[in-house]
Every structure is written in C-alpha cells, then in structure tokens.
A and B are shown apart, each in its own frame.
Chain A
Amino acid sequence: MSETTPPAIDADGIEKRYDDGEDVVTAVDDVSLTIDPGEVVGLLGPNGAGKTTTIKCLLGLIVPDSGTIEIRGTDVAEHPERAHARVGAMLEGERNAYWRLTVRENLSFFAGLGGQQPAELRERHDRLLERLDLAGRADSVVNDLSTGMKQKVSLASTLARDVDVIFLDEPTLGLDVETALSLREEIRRLAESEDVAIVLTSHDMDVIEAVSDRVVILQDGRVIADDPVDRLGELFETQSFRVAIAQPVDELVRRRLDGLDLEVRGENDRLVIESQGTDSQTVYELMRLLEETGQELRDIDSVAPDLEEIFLELTDDASDARSDAQETARVVAGSGSKGGS
C-alpha cells in the first residue's frame, strides 16, 4: 500500500494581528498556501503587504493568531524542531552568515547547527562552493568579500545541510547581473534536480518571473492572486500593439486614431497604440489609416504584459476595491448615524 507524501508546505487560514494599544493591524489575513516538493513559489506584494510576516509564520518565527502550518506533514507550532529538520532560510541577505568566519567555516557551522556532522558533508560543501563560484574564496573571511559574494555565502550556508524546503527573502538584492543569474540557475537546479520546495520574495519581478512556477501576490495581508506565472499572463493578456512610425502624426491623423477607440500615446517618434480586446477589424482599419495618411511604418510588435504590469494591475484593482468598500462603509455609517440622531 502506498502512502502519499505530504506537501512541502501546507498552510491553512493563517492570521496575524498586531495590537499597538491604539490600533489593531492585520499583517496576515486568512492566508492559505500549499506548496509541493520541487515547486518554486514567488511571493510578491508591495511594501507592508505581509510577505515577510507570512514567511516568518511559515517558519514558526512568528506565531500566528490562528491557522495551521505544516512542513512536510509536521505541525510547526506543535513540533517546531521536527518541522525545522530539513528547512533552510535566508532572511537577512548577506547578513545571514558570520562575517568573522571563513566561507567554509560558515558552511560547517550551519551544517552543525542543523545537526549534521560537517566532516561528513565535505564533498557536498565542495560542490556547493564550486557551483556558486566560491571555491576560490573558501578560506577567505566573509568580511573581506564583496556584497554579492557575501550574499552567495548566505545562500551556501542555507544549503550546507540536506534541506527539502528553503525560504529566500530578497535573495538577489544588491547582486550584480552575473551573480543574480547564477543564483537564479541555482534556484531552478535545486527545485528540478533535488526536489527542493522554494519560497522566495523579491522586488525584482524578472527574478520571480524567471524562476517561479507559481506566483502568490499579497496585498494588505491577503492573497489576491495565486496562479502559475503563465496563467497570470493569460488572465491579463491584452491585445496590444506597438507601432513605430518615422515621424510624428499631425492633429488630423491623431483625431482619426482616437475615433478607432484605441489608446494612443507618443513615445519620442513612436506611436504606441494599445487596447484590450481589440478585434482584427480595428487593426485592419488602423493599418489602412496609416497607409492612407502616408505614415512610414518602422516596426510593429505584439506585446504581452510582463509580471510587473500584471502585479501593478492586480494591486491597483485590490486598492480600488478596498477604497470603494471603505467609502461604502463610511457612507453607510454616516447615513446610519444621521438616522439615529
């Protein structure tokens, strides 16, 4: 009889509120997440959206007011030590390691802190240092390394022992392009080759888009989207064209373009024409108009929205909905109090 492997992370209905004496702030509001082994999940959200609090709740570093969290089937609140047996976390960027120790000493320390004998992990550490391009600096004191290298030491020390789940908070912050790329490759390799589940936050949408299988967007502590990256792209796909022409259009042409119900804006000598759900007829009419008025086409692109645009769209929508709800509540409260007086 086969027994199914539990998800890497299974969180259900997490809530965390802070009471500062005057106000109660809800940092995490009914967040539920299930993450499978080998899955990379990007956690996105504006500042103060609850990303870090969510990660710390998942790790048991912050105790939620309600909800349950299991890591590989172990309840984090009831058995934190057992839940942490195969968990690594890089929460403070390059500060996540001891700067007065060497790179290799850091790996040994964190392997031992995780309960594994460093001497038995020597080969693993060698491979890790090689992959992260740190082998040449293995015996350097971390304090003498660049910010990017310190960041890589932090990641290496997180992976210094066997882990099934890792949490990476802003792993590419402050890294140069080359280092960030190697870090992305390492994240994908860990997920694909070692079946490690990875939760990462980043303000760099390119990183999230490049490495994540799924994106969870938080705003005001709530999950407002939880979809595979491709699915998010489909949901927000707009029929968008970018038309470059050789010279600026005159007022008459601009008015005729406006008549086609297209969003028209100029970018230097470019005319950007964009509309959601544009049918083919409109595109034909646009082409005809440009031909009739003698516009010399330089380029035509079909443009799909990137994750940044999707993120902004979603968080704007959520903000608008919240403002509307607050306004409604204010009006209702106002009319209620008038009625009562």
Chain B
Amino acid sequence: MGAAEKTAGADDRSDPPSPSLLALFRVVAHKKLVLLVRYPVNTATRFATLVILFGLILFGGEAVAGAAITDSLAGIIVGFFVWTMAIVAYQGLAWNITREAQWGTLERLFISPHGIGTVMLVKLVVNVLFSFLWAFATLLAMMALAREWLVVDPATVLPLLVLTVASISGLGLVFAGLALLYKRIENIFQLLQFAFVGLIAAPVGEVPALAVLPVSHGSYLLQEAMRDGTRLWEFAPGELGLLIATSAGYFLAGFAVFQIAQRRARKQGLLGQY
C-alpha cells in the first residue's frame, strides 16, 4: 500500500492543532529580552546615546536660549519621552523587516501557521511593551538630569501612550510593507525618525487641525497630563475620541497597507530578495 493510500484514521497527523498564540508571544518576547541582556554593551550604548542626546539639547539649549528652554523644560522632556517610544516602536517594525530579509529569516516568518499578519502584530505588541521600558528608563534619566519632576500617573499616561504608539505603529507597518517591495529604503526610515520630532512638537493647541496627524494629538495630551497633571477622565470626551479615532485609523490603515504590500511581494516574487 502506497503511503498516500494510508487511511486517514490510521494517520494521527491529519488534523494539525491550532497554533498557540501564547507560544508565539512568549518566543518573540523571550528573543527580544535575551538579546537585550546578552549584549549589555549594545543596550547600554543605546540608552546612553538617548540620554546624551537629551543632555545636549537641554544644556546646549540653555546655553543658547537661556530662560526660553528652562520655561519649556517639561514640554521638552515629554516630547523626548514620546520620541523615544516612537522610534523604538517604529524601528521594531520597519527596520525589523529589512533586517530579517538580510539575515535570511524573513521567509520563515511568512510560513508560520499564524500567518505573517499575526506574526507582525505580536512583534508589534512586544515592541510596544519593550518601548515602555526604554521610554520610562529614559524619562527617569531625563528628569534626574533636568531636575524637573513630572506627573507620571500610570492610569493616565499608559492609555495615552498606547494610543500614541498605535499611530506610530501604523506608520511602521506602512514602511515595513514598503521595505518588502522596495528593499533598501533605510534612508527614508532615518528621515522619518526626524520627521517624528516635527509631529511630536506640532502646536495642536494653536492649530487644532494638526490633531489629525499621527502622534501629534497623543503628544499634546501627554504634555497636558504630565506637565499640568491632567487626569485621563478630566480630558474632554471629544479630545479622547479624536485620539482613539486617529490612532485606530492610522493603525488599521498601516496594517492594510502592509497586507497589500506582502501580497504584492509574494505575487512579484520579491520575498527574500535582498
């Protein structure tokens, strides 16, 4: 009897179990943690770079602009805090696709029984969790350096941060998709990281229309929460609603673009070509 003629009843492999999402989450998080711990110099250098950059802005700005910087110190700290979160979350998606392609492991992500969309979403969640660690560590260092202590109410800051990062993640997914199709676009990635500065610093209070930009509205609300101590429930429902709508919109649009790009990459045979 040929192998293909064996009865299904005799074959215990006929129904593969549903893949465990928890298993996927654990291995993605474990890999991230292992790499942070195994290469402490790399981790410390990255952290030090962020703090030194903040120090340069702070002390350099004080030397040049004096009181103007001191008066807006809280805003600078919150802005830098949001920027740190944004680049960690964004890099984890956009740069990661490029690196996986370079390492030769990208196609293995695509043949996961979870599907590449789910794999990317799990990576995103893990990235956001790790970006919290980075951002809060940097925040502490910045507050100590500036001797300016801000209000960090977790019940307010965490939901606002998650929503702010969601819109950045949407952008990360868009550029991850573009990296699948156009490969070497690292220069655009870098430019966008600087563009985040403009988005974070957008004067939403003066020009409300800027609230529809990614990150801008979240950054504005975080400034109010951390500088002025506004609690989550003290914000106008319209403000929160707009933040939820823009964050969900950018995130869903980014995910849709990524899915279109990955389908096109498979159609054009572009996966794994780097």
A residues whose Cβ falls under 8 Å from a Cβ of B: 2-8, 16, 18, 27, 34, 36-39, 53, 56, 59-63, 72, 80-82, 84-87, 89, 91-93, 95-101, 105, 108-118, 141, 162, 164, 195
Contacts and interface: CB of A to CB of B under 8 A. Distances in A.
A36 B3 contact: yes
B7 A4 contact: yes
Given A62-B269, A110-B108, 6 more contacts: A2-B8, A60-B111, A61-B107, A61-B110, A82-B16, A108-B30
A122 to B, nearest CB: 13
Contacts of A80: 115
Interface stretch (B18-26, B168-176, B194-202, B235-243): B18-26
Interface stretch (B34-42, B87-95, B144-152): B34-42
Given A3-B7, A113-B112, A56 B269 contact: yes
Given A60-B266, A61-B110, A61-B272, A115 B7 contact: no
6 contacts: A82-B16, A92-B272, A99-B103, A112-B28, A116-B23, A162-B13
Q: Which of A87, A116, A162 has the most CB of B within 10 A?
A: A116
B181 to A, nearest CB: 14
B66 to A, nearest CB: 46
Given A109-B31, A115-B18, A97 B8 contact: no
Contacts of B30: 105, 108-109
Contacts of A62: 266-267, 269, 271
Contacts of B272: 56, 61, 91-92
Minimum-distance CB pairs A-B, first 3: A115-B19, A112-B27, A95-B104
Nearest to A16: B269
A37 B105 CA distance: 26
Interface of B: 2-9, 11, 13-14, 16-24, 26-28, 30-31, 34-35, 38-39, 103-105, 107-115, 119, 263, 266-269, 271-272
Contacts of A84: 111-113
B34 A101 contact: yes
B182 to A, nearest CB: 16
A87 B17 CA distance: 13
Contact of A100 (B38, B111, B114, B268): B38
B124 to A, nearest CB: 15
B31 A101 contact: yes
A95 B56 CA distance: 40
Contacts of A100: 35, 38-39
B8 A96 contact: no
Contact of B108 (A89, A93, A99): A89
B267 A37 contact: no
B150 to A, nearest CB: 36
A109 B3 CA distance: 31
A109 B267 contact: no
Contacts of A63: 263, 266-267
Contacts of B267: 62-63
Q: Which of A7, A34, A87, A115 has the most CB of B within 10 A?
A: A115
A62 B272 CA distance: 10
A98 B105 contact: yes
Contacts of B21: 115
Contacts of A115: 17-21, 23-24, 112-114
A190 B112 CA distance: 21
Contacts of B23: 111-112, 115-118
Contacts of B34: 101, 105
A39 B111 contact: no
A285 B5 CA distance: 52
Contacts of A6: 4
A5 B35 contact: no
Given A5-B4, A116-B20, A97 B266 contact: no
B20 A96 contact: no
Contacts of A96: 104-105, 108
Nearest to A116: B23
B109 to A, nearest CB: 7
Contact of B111 (A61, A118, A164, A195): A61
B266 A61 contact: yes
Q: Which of A72, A97, A113 has the most CB of B within 10 A?
A: A113
A112 B104 contact: no
Contacts of A86: 13, 16
Contacts of A114: 19, 112-113
A264 to B, nearest CB: 46
A96 B4 CA distance: 30
B4 A7 contact: yes
Contacts of B18: 115
A265 B115 CA distance: 59
B107 A85 contact: no
A108 B16 CA distance: 19
Contacts of A113: 24, 27, 108-109, 112, 114, 119
A194 to B, nearest CB: 10
